[in-house]
Amino acid sequence: MQRSIRRVPRNYVRGRRTARYREYARFYVNYTSMTGKRKRASFAVRVEPSLSNRAKHNLMVSVCNNILNKKIPQHVQGEVFHGFYALMRGTPWFEVRSVQNYEAGMVYER
């Protein structure tokens, strides 16, 4: 009796240059605006899976440094930016009075 080999599901097949999952860098910030109101910002950035871990780390650190320097990108709550270039160069950043706390992390989706 000959057994057939099970095929690998499509979502597990990984191409040479691209992965089958999406990566997002997510940021959540609680801050005080220049008028004294406490506000919240949340946005995400789509990350290319082909980037090295070092490049991802450096891009995350640059965004976190902007947040710690009291600068928040102008965005709609929950907006997903196409890439770090669109966030850093194509989006105006505005100053805030203070940043209470922030969270940053990578999210992987299938």
Contact 47, 24 (CB under 8 A): yes
Among 35, 100, 28, 34, which Cα is nearest to 63's? 28
Question: CB neighbours of 75 closer than 8 A, spacing ≥ 6?
Answer: 41, 43, 81, 91
Give this prediction's pTM: 0.78
Cα–Cα distance between 6 and 100 in angstroms, integer? 52
Among 47, 40, 21, which Cα is nearest to 110's? 21
Q: Residue 75 corresponds to which tokens in the numbers above?
A: 């965005």
Contact 99, 29 (CB under 8 A): yes
pLDDT, one tens digit per residue, over 66-87 is: 999 999 999 999 999 999 999 9
Given a cut of 60, whether residue 48 has pLDDT beyond it is: yes
Task: State the pLDDT confidence band at 22, using cuts at 50, 70 and 90.
Answer: confident
Given a cut of 90, whether residue 42 has pLDDT beyond it is: yes
